[in-house]
Structure formats: C-alpha cells, structure tokens
Amino acid sequence: MYWIDHYRLCAEIRRQSGHLTTALARLHPGTPVLDCPGWTAADLAAHLHAGFTWAAGLLTGGTTDFRPPHAFLGDVADEEVDPDAPWPAYVDTLTHAHAKSPVGIRIAEGGREPLDRAAAALLDALESGGPDRPVWTCLGEQRARFWAAWGALEAGIHRLDAEAVLGAAPALDREVSEQLVGVLLALVAEPASAAFFDPQFTRLRTSGERILVRALDSGGGPGQWLLGLLPEGPALLEPGSARPHVTVEAPGELLLPLLKRRVPPTAPGIRVTGDGDVLLDYLAHVFS
C-alpha cells in the first residue's frame, strides 16, 4: 500500500504545513473556510493543531491502543465533547471548543508558534521513531508509516482549503498525491475505518457498482485502483478483473482533491467516462 518513502512523506508534511501556516496568517480569524462548512480560519487552525497534537501523542504514547484527540489537549474538558458521537460530529465539537481555548485564540490572533510547534512534534515523533514504530491506526499494520501519510494528507488538503480563500490554487506534489489516493481508497475498503467516516457512509451504494480510479502520468505507484461497491461493503478489486461502471482519470494532484471533494469531476484535467452518477453518489457519501 505504501510505495513513497516514509521520510519523503515527512518532508511533505513539513513543506505543506509551512505553506499552510503562512496562508492562515494572512486570513482574518473569522473568515469562513468554504471547503470546511461551518468553520472559520480560526477553526481550521485549531483543528490542525489538535490533529497534529493527537498524532504526536499517539506516536509517543508507547501503546497501540486508541485514544481520542481530546485526551491529548489539556484545554478541552471531557464534558465539552462526546467521544461516542459520530466521528465528524465529535471532530466538529472538538474543533470549536479548542478554537475558544487560550491556545486556539493565540493561533487565531496570528501566533504561528503553537501550530508550528505541534507540526514539529509530529515530525520529530515520525522521524525519530521511524516507519515501523508500533502505534494505533485504523488501517493495516499498527505502524507509524500510516501517520506520515495521514499528516501529509491533512497538511496538503487543508493548505488547499486555506489558500482557496485567498484565491490561490497551488498544485500538490504528483507522486505524493498518488500515494495518498491509494491510502484514501484503502481506508474506504477497510471495515475498521468506517467509524471515522460520515454516517452517510452507511448509505453508500452496495449493488456491485465498480469505480476505476486511474492516475495519469503515474509517478511509480500502481497507477489505478478498482473499487467495488459490494453488498458486504466496499472492496479494492484487481484492476482488469471486471469492467468498471465509471472511470475517472486525472493526474494524482487532481485525483486527491477530487476524492476529498475539493474540486468537482468537471474540473479541467479530470476525465470521467461511463456512469457519472455512480461517482457522484460515491463522493456524496464518503469524504469531506
């Protein structure tokens, strides 16, 4: 599943988080972030600080047990969040609570230091412990390499969110994006990951439709994935084993934001053939 080097993913976290904090510093804290409905720039900054702190805490905690993000934040009381709520609702409540904390307010007022420090702590944990450090994950082996991919995804996608508000459209790294597309689709096909999706995920089609995702000008990965929407749940099938109902083709740096619903299937550089409704239904039920 992973073909990009762990330390290259760490370098991508460093690069994208730097761009991200620069973009956030240019935004008024109350500015709405359109690709994160209901969130302002202050909320986005708080979300990232909480996420980086969570991942670093898991990596350095010496256990493969799950612990929720608020367990690592000293400024969010247990009664402010409901860990039993659907994951998106939990994350949204946590984000708003953390944004109102002293750390969240300091970041919102232009203080980059807490967010930079959280990113640095995550990178230190990933780089010092290496890719095979045991840690809880919701996908595959309980190893740190998952969190390098997760961090690159979080930093890269939310950089797009922040810079979109500024009217910019930066290009993501093609090879890294293709790797993250592979991770996203593996998450969809992993039953243990379902609890971390929107409740809409349970209403995903299960009638056997197949979606072929093809990375144009592939940078060394498999280049294509065939996702089957089966009665027992989504599954990654061997490409070429069955005819897809819909095919979506684009370079990795466009496929990733498409699958995260940051660009539409009609965006320049993306080609969809076959039953486009299958793709639209998939996008409506999986990621945000």
Who has greater pLDDT, 227 or 83?
A: 227
pLDDT at 94: 97
- For residue 32, give the amino acid letter: P
What mean pLDDT value characterizes the chain? 94
Condensed to tens digits (0 to 9), the pLDDT of residues 34-51 reads 999 999 999 999 999 999
Q: Which of 146, 233, 156 is nearest to 195 (CA)?
A: 233
Strand partners, 248: 213, 272
3-class SS string, the chain: CCCCCHHHHHHHHHHHHHHHHHHHHCCCCCCECCCCCCCEHHHHHHHHHHHHHHHHHHHHCCCCCCCCHHHHCCCCCHHHCCCCCCHHHHHHHHHHHHHCCHHHHHHHCCCCHHHHHHHHHHHHHHHHHCCCCECCCCCCCCECHHHHHHHHHHHHHHHHHHHHHCCCCCCCCHHHHHHHHHHHHHHHCCHHHHHHCCHHHHHCCCCCEEEEEEEECCCCCCCEEEEEEECCEEEEECCCCCCCCEEEEEEHHHHHHHHCCCCCCCCCCCEEEECHHHHHHHHHHCCC
Q: How far is Cα of residue 92 from the mean position of the Cα atoms in its chain?
A: 15
Average pLDDT over residues 179-207: 92
Whether the predicted pLDDT of 198 surpasses 70: yes
The CATH number of 6-170 is which of 1.10.3720.10, 1.20.120.450, 3.10.180.10, 2.30.30.30?
1.20.120.450
| Domain range summary for the chain, segments of one domain joined by + | 6-170, 195-285
Would you state the pLDDT for residue 171?
Answer: 82
Tens digits of residue pLDDT in 239-274: 999 999 999 999 999 999 999 999 999 999 999 999
pLDDT tens for each residue of 61-115? 988 999 999 999 988 988 899 999 999 999 999 999 999 999 888 888 877 889 9
- What angle do the packed helices 87-99 and 41-60 form, to 10 degrees? 110
Predicted pLDDT of residue 11: 98
Instruction: Judge whether residue 288 has pLDDT over 70.
Output: no
- What CA dihedral angle connects 150, 153, 159 and 162, to 10 degrees? -80
Q: What number does CATH give the domain 195-285?
A: 3.30.1050.10
Q: Residue 212's beta-bridge partner residues?
A: 226, 247
In this prediction the pTM is 0.95
Residue carrying the six token digits 């995920």: 201
